[in-house]
Each structure stands twice: as structure tokens, then as C-alpha cells.
Amino acid sequence: MEVTRHRRSIAFFIALGVASISVLLVLYIGWILLNWRTGLLLVLGVLLVLMIICGIVLNTVFLVREIRRNEQHDAFINAVTHELKTPVTSIRLYLQTLQTRAVDEQKRKEFYRTMLDDSDRLLSTIEQVLLTGRLGAASRSVHRTKIDLDELVRSCVDRVRKAHNVGGEALSYETCGPATVMGDQEDVRAAVTNLIDNAVKYSGSEVRVTVRTERTDERFITVRVSDQGPGIPREELKRVFRRFYRVPGPLASRIKGTGLGLYIVRTVARRHGGRAWAESEGPGRGSTFALELPVAQ
């Protein structure tokens, strides 16, 4: 609903800009046809019209950018507030119950496990917000060290297996062998974990995720994460990498998130001289996310 409203206002401003330029051009051509003899005025007229056209174009670009920024701001407030508030509310409720009622040992253990899960969720949201802020700082340079990518991906797979309680048959890893990339270990780890975490998270109850490393050529190595989940419509394949963007629809309300994960993946890829992209045959047919990084020479 909100997204449609924003898209409509963006379309309105673009249409307004195009219409104004068209009217100007028509007036201008008419004016030239009527006054083609007065040369000097003609040159001045040309300059004036060009200036006005530039002004309108700049104005339209500025308005569209402002609308996008507002849209991102709203999305940030909604997603992050929800993602911060829900686990805190849940932890509070369990603590209140433990404080006011006698709870048997088994229930107590269950409460502690849920509270730990909630605090993990809280921590991961906070880490994502902080990392997004750090990556957004233009002055920040990449702290490069040698990374053993095979070992890094393996540890990310283990981490997601533990977090989502899935086994090796549901989340498998196929390696192309040892590979070293130069980069910021923590940033690359965050990017790879986000991809694997999304694949499991969006697969729902039937998780069949494969993580692969592939040597694209002698200069690059690609981490590919494929799932058999809900897939992504073609027109959304690029948009999902935008900051705070979540594909609108029932999936977004059922599965919670901040819309920061893929933005982090793309930013980390670019900062390391690589790229990130998504492939999908369409809704219901699974998706593959790829992160391509240059290998250390």
C-alpha cells in the first residue's frame, strides 16, 4: 500500500517534469518559427530554454531522491522498531512470569532457551544496524587481511545450522577447495552469513539449501547459495539489494526482517572489488544468491 503510494508520487513528479519540458519545447519551436529572423534574440532564447530545462530536470531528480529517502526512512523506522521491540517484549514477559509464578524445571529451561533465542535475534538486528552505519561511512577503508574463504564459509554454514537447528542434509556445503581472498574478515563473514541465513529463513519448514564455492576464472571466486524456497519475481531481483527494501506481500509480514541483509552483502562485495546478484526462475521456484570476490594474487 505504502510502496504503491510512493511509486505513484515518484511517477507523478517524473511525469510532471517530462510534461513541463515538452510544453517548453513546443513553445520554443513555435517561437523560433515565428521569429526566425531575429538572430540574437534567438541565441539568447536558446540559452534561456536550456537553462530552464536543466532546472526542471534537476528539480525532478531532487524530488524523486527526497521521496526515496523518505521511503527508506519510513521503512527503517518500521522494520527496526519492530525487530528491536518484539524480542525485548518477549524476554520481559518471560522474566515477569519467572518472577511472579512458580515454574517447574522443564518449563524454566524452555523459557531460558526462548529468551536466549530472543536475545540472539536482538543482537543480530543491532549488529546489522551498526554494520550498515559503518559501511555507509564513505571514509571507512577496508581493513584487508588474507582470508581463507573455504574455512570462513564452512564456519558461516555451521553458525546458521546451529542458529536454525538444521542438519547437513538440509543445509549442505560443496567446496571448490582452498581459496584465499584479501579483505575484511568480519565484513565478508557478515555478508556470507546473511546469504545463508536468508536462504534458510525464507525456505520455511522445508529447508533444502546448498552453499557452493566456485572458481569463476583465475581472478574471481564465487559463493553461491541456492534454495528451493519462495523465489523472487524477476522485477524484484535488483531491488532486493536496496537498503531497507523488502519484497512487499504476505512473505514480508510472515517472515520478519529489517531489509538490511542484502544491502550489506552488496556493499561488502563492491568494497572488495566484487559484486553480488540474485537469480530466480520466479515465485515458487527457489532462488540463488551469488557473491563474487577477487582472489588474492
CB of 82 vs ligand ADP, minimal distance in Å:
11
| Residue 258 binds to ligand ADP (criterion: CB under 6 A) | yes
Convert 77-109 to b/e letters by CB count within 10 Å (16 or more is b): eebbeebbeebeebbeebeeeeeeeeeeeeeee
Nearer to ligand ADP, 50 or 252 (CB): 252
Q: Which helix (H) or strand (E) holds 209?
A: strand 209-215
Coil, strand, or helix at residue 88? helix
* Among positions 131, 179, 192, 199, the unique one binding ligand ADP when judged by CB under 6 A: 199
**Residue whose Cβ sits closest to ligand ADP:** 257
Position 150, amino acid:
D
| Residue 259 binds to ligand ADP (criterion: CB under 6 A) | yes
Q: How many angstroms separate the most distant Cα atoms in the chain? A: 98
Nearer to ligand ADP, 17 or 257 (CB): 257
Question: In this structure, which long-range contacts are made by residues 28-31, counting pairs with CB atoms below 8 Å and at least 24 apart in sequence?
Answer: none
CB of 263 vs ligand ADP, minimal distance in Å:
6
Q: Which of 199, 102, 106 is nearest to 160 (CA)?
A: 199
Q: What angle do the packed helices 261-271 and 105-136 form, to 10 degrees?
A: 40
| Residue 202 binds to ligand ADP (criterion: CB under 6 A) | yes
Provide the β-strand partners of residue 287.
227, 280
CB of 39 vs ligand ADP, minimal distance in Å:
58
CB of 287 vs ligand ADP, minimal distance in Å:
4
| Residue 232 binds to ligand ADP (criterion: CB under 6 A) | yes
* Among positions 152, 171, 262, 268, the unique one binding ligand ADP when judged by CB under 6 A: 262
CB of 140 vs ligand ADP, minimal distance in Å:
20
CB 248 within 8 A of CB 3: yes
| Residue 274 binds to ligand ADP (criterion: CB under 6 A) | no
Convert 134-166 to b/e letters by CB count within 10 Å (16 or more is b): ebeeeeeeeeeeebebbebbeebbeebbebbeb
| Residue 198 binds to ligand ADP (criterion: CB under 6 A) | yes
Q: What is the DSSP string of 220-284?
A: EEEEEEEE-SS---GGGTTGGGSTT----SHHHHHS---S-HHHHHHHHHHHTT-EEEEEESSTT
Nearer to ligand ADP, 49 or 241 (CB): 241
β-pairing, 145-148 with 180-183? Answer: antiparallel
| Residue 267 binds to ligand ADP (criterion: CB under 6 A) | no
| Residue 87 binds to ligand ADP (criterion: CB under 6 A) | no
| Residue 160 binds to ligand ADP (criterion: CB under 6 A) | no
* Among positions 190, 261, 266, 269, the unique one binding ligand ADP when judged by CB under 6 A: 261
CB of 262 vs ligand ADP, minimal distance in Å:
3
| Residue 124 binds to ligand ADP (criterion: CB under 6 A) | no
Name the site residues for ligand ADP (rule: CB under 6 A): 194, 198-199, 202, 227, 229-230, 232, 240, 245-247, 251-252, 257-263, 287
